[in-house]
Chain A
Amino acid sequence: MRHALVTLVTALAVIGPLLPAASAADKIRVVTTIPDLKALTDEVGGDLVDVESLARGTQNAHELEIRPSLMLKLRRADLLIENGLELDSWAEVAVQGANNAKIVRGAPGRVDASRGIQVLDVPSTRVDRSMGDVHPHGNPHYSLDPGMAPIITQNIVDGLARFAPERRDAFAKNRQAFLARLDEAMARWMRALEPLKGAKVVVYHPQWIYVLNRFGLTQAATLEDRPGIPASPAHLAHVIRQMKEERIRVIIVEPWNDVKLATRVAEEAGAKAVVLASMVGGVKGTDSYIAALDHNVNALAQALR
């Protein structure tokens, strides 16, 4: 009897960690490619979902290393929510290594958050790589524009409801509650940036166009020579000259980009380099969608004053 008991306990000790947690069993397992979508899915799904993001906020979402740990997350996913517009096309490689039929391209478990987004920076002429790492379908960095949140969250509600139709009302209710909170925050952000409307900024990588447009700011130049192409000295000299001439006071830089270079250029031009959260979690204290925008708006307003 004692032998059997010891065997049973040992077996449970070995097998136990291999079994998925019981509490997670009835939740919808969602994987998002970027943390912004995770934050929004958390808001919409609430306690009914278990969400993981493939990329971290401090990473460059264009170029993610396809680790098998990403495939492991996807292996168990009921739903994969992707940014689309070719920002996270690397996810396809991870999906193919995950052996999960629920989330392959075309399956109901694959959600493209960009559906319905009014895409900016859509090339109006033929594009090629002489223009750098240009996105042929337009600028894919829409997710941190609060004005896009209603569309993104609607796409998320639809994706979740495809998997659990009986919970659609709950998701819709969560979404409305989140959008109400976002509206309140939006009024606050508008007030903070209203006096600075029309101000010009320089960005490191052209990924802020949606946010800048939303708040009436203008992107005057990029530190990158062309998207994804490191700046040449001649280009930097041109940007510094332009900043001086136009009295541009701020360079926005992503946490994953070359902050030192941006700081050096800013000092040369008599401006400030501001690190903004390019994705949720990109900067300390930006672990939710509203917190990330709070940080970005406050940092930008402070630097532009």
Chain B
Amino acid sequence: MRALILVLVLVCVALAPAAAAAQDAAAEAAALRREIEQLQKQLQSVTDRLQRLEAQPAAPAQAPPAAPPAAETPPAAGAPPATAQQPSPQPGISPLDIARPRQPFGLYQQRGAGQLLFDIGIAGDFVGNLTQKNVEKAQGGSFPGLENRFFPREIELSLFGQIDPYASAVVRIEAGEEERTGDITVHLAEAYLTLLTLPFGTQARIGQMRNRFGWSNEIHEHDLPWVDRPNVMRNFFGSEGLQEQGMEATFVPDLPFYVEALGGIFNGDNQTAFGAGTLRVPLVTGRVRTFLELGTDHALELGMSVASGQTSEHLPSTILGWEGRYKYRPDGWLHPLITVTGEALYSIRQFNVEGDPNGDGITETEKRQKNSWGFYVGGEVQPWRRWAGGFRYDWSQFLQTPGLEQAIEPYISFWPSEFLRFRLAYKHTARTTQTRDAFNLNGGSARTVDELFFQASFILGAHPAHPF
């Protein structure tokens, strides 16, 4: 028995270290397992992080996440009812993803299939005008052929955006009533691309565009500060203004003051001023403009333009333009208090005259030159955000017709919101007797014209901000 106990004790003594060692080994194995699991987790985390970083190579991961808002705020009484006050992470995106700065093209990456990568806007401009019956007969109002009518002057569909990192594009399609038949004409108003990344402070615009000749020519009808285009612009470039196909480039030198120089080459399709319509004798345009800031409240822009080409008779025609625009905008005001705009145009134009100077019955064609000029000056006061009143004075000769016309147009504008505007205007035009051949037509007379205008304009969707 004693021997048995002794054997048992010996066995226990012999096995105890082994059992302890086994227990130690098991604990060590468990610890190792935990460590491996932890390492695996860390590896997975690092792998995930690496994958995210690889997806966005330049994005550093140092941005700390935003602290959560301290309290939730209920929607404002006047605010849209269904807006989320809380941050709204997109499904499948972690807070880390939200905190991380996105890449320059993040906007495009986040758009799904079928979403547009450009902006769309619609501008509508309706005009009603009332005038004398005589004027209607002679079609001598500010909207020839559309006197005493309410009509859609311009419904404009604008599509604009970046083509790629180097260029942007604009396409504008316009519809409007051009004759009193009520038929609506649709046409391509503008379609051009702008190369944005040319060297030496240059940009180029290629396509069909409203030429940057003077200040008002580039402005679309619904954006003009008056109901109608200034008389001198209409008389020298036609009712649509100067709109050409070709290319122009601008250069802004790196100077302490702002100067923009522009040069362009176009077909010369404008029938009123040019009309050659060929690049063999192109319409060449140029403009220089500068800007003076007189303190923070006063600003003045000055410019000079030139357009030189040939008429449809292949005779030279050159138009020079000068422009000035002043604004007084007290600091902090949302709108200018006073705006003064003026442009003057001078035309040097040759034309053929057929006649019988010798009285021998033989018709001869003689070249003559006519120099004409005209100008307008407009002033506007906007004491309140939603209301503005102003006037425009016009004085203009005609490119070929003798005589001249003067007009005064007071108006008042009201904006219920920045996307909707109503305007009421009165215009009195007086033409000299030499204009009777051009304006006394169809048994009517438009030598003295009184017109009452009503205009309603709206903007739907995107609309780029207006330059000065």
The smallest C-beta distance from B307 to any residue of chain A, in angstroms, reads: 21
* Bound Cα distance from A115 to B291, whole angstroms: 34
Assess whether B77 is in contact with A71, with CB atoms less than 8 Å apart.
no
Residues on the A chain within 8 Å of B201, using CB: 75, 99-100
Assess whether A155 is in contact with B63, with CB atoms less than 8 Å apart.
yes
Assess whether B418 is in contact with A68, with CB atoms less than 8 Å apart.
no
**CB interface residues, A 152-186, toward B, < 8 Å:** 154-155, 157-158, 162, 172
Name the residue of chain A whose CB is nearest to the CB of B291: A68
Assess whether B77 is in contact with A120, with CB atoms less than 8 Å apart.
no
Assess whether B76 is in contact with A219, with CB atoms less than 8 Å apart.
yes
A93: contacting residue among B88, B106, B464, CB under 8 A: B464
Stretch from A32-40, A41-49, A103-111, A297-305 forming part of the interface with B: A103-111
Binary flags per residue of B325-342, CB closer than 8 Å to A gives 1, else 0: 001010111101000000
Contact A120/B85 with A66-B468, A222-B78, A238-B77 known, Cβ cut-off 8 Å: yes
Residues on the A chain within 8 Å of B331, using CB: 56, 58-59
User: A124 within 8 Å of B by Cβ?
Assistant: yes
Residues on the A chain within 8 Å of B296, using CB: 56
Binary flags per residue of A109-139, CB closer than 8 Å to B gives 1, else 0: 0101001111111111101010111100010
Contact A120/B102 with A18-B256, A68-B291 known, Cβ cut-off 8 Å: no
* Bound Cα distance from A59 to B258, whole angstroms: 22
Assess whether A151 is in contact with B64, with CB atoms less than 8 Å apart.
yes
Assess whether A68 is in contact with B101, with CB atoms less than 8 Å apart.
no
Residues on the A chain within 8 Å of B82, using CB: 123-125
Looking at B80, B257, B260, which has the most chain A CB atoms within 10 Å of its CB? B80
Looking at A75, A106, A229, A239, which has the most chain B CB atoms within 10 Å of its CB? A106
The count of residues in chain B whose C-beta lies closer than 8 Å to any C-beta of chain A is 84
**Tally of contacts, chain A with chain B, CB under 8 A:** 240
Contact A220/B76 with A63-B334, A122-B84, A151-B99 known, Cβ cut-off 8 Å: yes
Assess whether A122 is in contact with B88, with CB atoms less than 8 Å apart.
yes
Contact A220/B87 with A58-B332, A154-B60 known, Cβ cut-off 8 Å: no
Residues on the A chain within 8 Å of B203, using CB: 96, 99
Assess whether A93 is in contact with B467, with CB atoms less than 8 Å apart.
yes
Residues on the A chain within 8 Å of B386, using CB: 230
User: A192 within 8 Å of B by Cβ?
Assistant: no
Assess whether A235 is in contact with B104, with CB atoms less than 8 Å apart.
no
Name the residue of chain B whose CB is nearest to the CB of A103: B196
User: B367 within 8 Å of A by Cβ?
Assistant: no
Assess whether B196 is in contact with A104, with CB atoms less than 8 Å apart.
yes
Binary flags per residue of B387-414, CB closer than 8 Å to A gives 1, else 0: 0000000000000000000000000000
User: A72 within 8 Å of B by Cβ?
Assistant: yes
The smallest C-beta distance from B301 to any residue of chain A, in angstroms, reads: 7
Assess whether B334 is in contact with A158, with CB atoms less than 8 Å apart.
no
* Bound Cα distance from A218 to B76, whole angstroms: 9
Residues on the A chain within 8 Å of B106, using CB: 115
Residues on the A chain within 8 Å of B293, using CB: 67, 69
Assess whether B71 is in contact with A222, with CB atoms less than 8 Å apart.
no
B83: contacting residue among A20, A89, A121, CB under 8 A: A121
Residues on the A chain within 8 Å of B443, using CB: none
Contact A216/B256 with A67-B299, A123-B83 known, Cβ cut-off 8 Å: no
User: A268 within 8 Å of B by Cβ?
Assistant: no
Residues on the B chain within 8 Å of A138, using CB: 88
Assess whether B299 is in contact with A121, with CB atoms less than 8 Å apart.
no
Assess whether A98 is in contact with B252, with CB atoms less than 8 Å apart.
yes
User: A148 within 8 Å of B by Cβ?
Assistant: yes
Contact A242/B168 with A162-B58, A213-B72 known, Cβ cut-off 8 Å: no
Residues on the B chain within 8 Å of A218, using CB: 71, 73-74
* Bound Cα distance from A107 to B196, whole angstroms: 11
**CB interface residues, B 21-65, toward A, < 8 Å:** 58-60, 62-65
Assess whether A256 is in contact with B197, with CB atoms less than 8 Å apart.
no
Assess whether B254 is in contact with A60, with CB atoms less than 8 Å apart.
no
Residues on the B chain within 8 Å of A133, using CB: 417-418
Assess whether B73 is in contact with A72, with CB atoms less than 8 Å apart.
no
**CB interface residues, B 64-111, toward A, < 8 Å:** 64-74, 76-80, 82-89, 98-102, 104-106
Residues on the A chain within 8 Å of B60, using CB: 154, 158
Contact A65/B417 with A125-B82, A154-B60, A154-B62 known, Cβ cut-off 8 Å: no
User: B194 within 8 Å of A by Cβ?
Assistant: yes
Assess whether B71 is in contact with A198, with CB atoms less than 8 Å apart.
yes
B76: contacting residue among A64, A198, A203, A256, CB under 8 A: A203
The smallest C-beta distance from A46 to any residue of chain B, in angstroms, reads: 18
A228: contacting residue among B250, B289, B418, CB under 8 A: B418
Assess whether A104 is in contact with B99, with CB atoms less than 8 Å apart.
no
Residues on the B chain within 8 Å of A115, using CB: 100-102, 106
Instruction: Give 6 A-B pairs besides A219-B74, A221-B77 with Cβ atoms closer than 8 angstroms.
Output: A99-B198, A123-B80, A147-B69, A209-B73, A215-B70, A238-B77
- Complex A-B: 16 CB contacts under 8 Å: A93-B464, A115-B106, A120-B87, A123-B83, A132-B80, A138-B88, A147-B66, A150-B64, A151-B64, A154-B63, A154-B64, A155-B63, A197-B71, A214-B67, A218-B74, A219-B76
- Hey, which bits of chain A sit against chain B, CB under 8 A? 17-18, 20, 56, 58-60, 63-69, 71-72, 75-76, 89-90, 92-93, 96-101, 104-108, 110, 112, 115-125, 127, 129, 131-134, 138, 147-148, 150-151, 154-155, 157-158, 162, 172, 197-198, 203, 206, 209-210, 212-222, 224-231, 235, 238-239, 242, 255-256
